[in-house]
């Protein structure tokens, strides 16, 4: 008597659940990415012209609503501000510096920060602003 031969195994991979999980994770990361930025939240002033893009990544100086100075998401005391800028530049002599400051600040506070940046050896400080009407359009 002859026994039936065992059936061949059909090995197939179903990637549909894998794709579903990856898409859900992608959506979660896309939603959470803007919330992961560290540093103070500031209300930027409006401007009619878009900012010009330069080469390389500039050092970002943030001035919050109470006048606190931040260099690349690290708060610094006013007397250690120049050292913090030079440390963030990493020895580069031609690094660009941009200031983003709260719209409710007086210009004198921003001008003092600009003078401190120039005293630290950086020239050509830029200011960040939002385009007028950008929040209404969702830009």
Question: What is the secondary structure of the chain as a DSSP string?
Answer: --PPPPPPP------HHHHHHHHHHHHHHHHHGGGG--S----PPEESSPPPP-SSPPEEEEE-TT--EEETTEEE-GGGHHHHHHHHHTT-SS--EEEEE-TTS-HHHHHHHHHHHHHTT----EE--EETTHHHHT-
Looking at every residue in the chain, the average pLDDT score rounds to 81
What are 93-131's pLDDT values in tens digits?
678 889 998 888 888 888 988 998 888 888 878 888 877
The answer to whether 97 and 84 have CB atoms below 8 angstroms apart is no
Q: Regarding beta strands 97-101 and 59-63, do their DSSP bridges make them parallel or antiparallel, or are they unpaired?
A: parallel
Residue 49 pLDDT = 60
- Alpha-carbon span 29 to 41, nearest angstrom: 21
The yes-or-no verdict on residue 90 having pLDDT over 90 is: no
Give, to the nearest 10 degrees, the angle between helix 81-89 and helix 107-119. 60
Residue 43 pLDDT = 78
């Amino acid at each position: 008597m002859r026994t039936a031969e065992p059936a061949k195994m059909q090995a197939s991979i179903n990637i549909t659940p894998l794709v579903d999980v990856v898409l859900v994770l992608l959506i979660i990361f896309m939603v959470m990415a803007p919330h992961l930025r560290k540093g103070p939240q500031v209300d930027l002033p409006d401007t009619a012209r878009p900012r010009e893009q330069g080469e390389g990544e500039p050092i970002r100086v943030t001035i919050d609503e109470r006048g606190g100075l931040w260099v690349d998401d690290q708060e610094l005391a006013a007397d250690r501000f120049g050292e913090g800028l030079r440390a963030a530049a990493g020895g580069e002599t031609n690094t660009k510096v941009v200031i983003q400051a709260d719209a409710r600040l007086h210009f004198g506070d921003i001008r003092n920060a600009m003078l401190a940046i120039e005293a630290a050896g950086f020239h050509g400080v830029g200011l960040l602003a939002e385009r007028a009407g950008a929040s209404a359009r969702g830009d």
